[in-house]
Amino acid sequence: MALCLKQVFSKDKTFRPRKRFEPGTQRFELYKKAQASLKSGLDLRSVVRLPPGENIDDWIAVHVVDFFNRINLIYGTMAERCSETSCPVMAGGPRYEYRWQDERQYRRPAKLSAPRYMALLMAWIEGLINDEDVFPTRVGVPFPKNFQQVCTKILTRLFRVFVHVYIHHFDSILSMGAEAHVNTCYKHFYYFIREFSLVDQRELEPLREMTERICH
């Protein structure tokens, strides 16, 4: 019997602590607006569109943080099934392998296990979204000029989490009765990145057939 989603996706299973929006801020109000649209049953293609009069960088920032929280929760639930033994390489099937690179420990692309890659990825994103110079929260402080480039990199790497989970851990999704929830999260993510052209089409190739089936 499928578990209810509250059991499957418990907040206690998050891979990293959830990032929250400060009540009373413009970002918080945008977040509430986005969540209300999601719960209203509107078509997801419509939900992701920039509301009239809103700043595009604020809209993207709200969604990047929300997707981080959601995907972090999905992977956190799968984490015990994704081990150094079961997933010695961060991959999406036999054709796609993802290597890790950052500005600290791994200055050259490194071949890592999936759990190690995920740990570094979530810590890296958490560091960025908590950095006031990248994701400013104070009123009147502008976003950096390269903000959308940073978000493209974050979202591209988060897409790889979907690739790995769908291709290597889909049986776990099914066994927990979480397929509908994960599919909805993926569709929301996919429509958003396509609406604002935030992820290169070539990065989407590993899930192309599945995306055509559930998103069109």
pLDDT of residue 195: 97
pLDDT of residue 49: 93
Show the tokens assigned to 35.
Answer: 């969540």
pLDDT, averaged per 10 consecutive residues of the chain (216 residues), comes to 41 52 56 55 84 92 92 89 95 95 92 96 95 88 95 98 96 89 93 97 96 89
Residues 94, 97: Cα–Cα separation, whole Å: 8
What single DSSP character describes residue 127?
H
Q: Residue 206: which residues within 8 A CB-CB, separation 6 or more?
A: 92, 93, 95, 96, 163, 167
Q: Which residues are annotated as a binding site for Zn(2+)?
A: 82, 87, 164, 169
Buried b (16+ CB within 10 A) or exposed e, 170-193: eeebeebebeebbbebbbbbbbbb
* 93: containing domain: 1-14+23-215
pLDDT of residue 6: 45
Total of domains in the chain? 1
Q: What is the CATH number of the domain that holds 182?
A: 1.20.140.30
Q: Which residues are annotated as a binding site?
A: 82, 87, 164, 169
The reported pTM is 0.84
pLDDT of residue 21: 54
pLDDT of residue 33: 54
pLDDT of residue 159: 98
Positions of E strands within 91-175: none
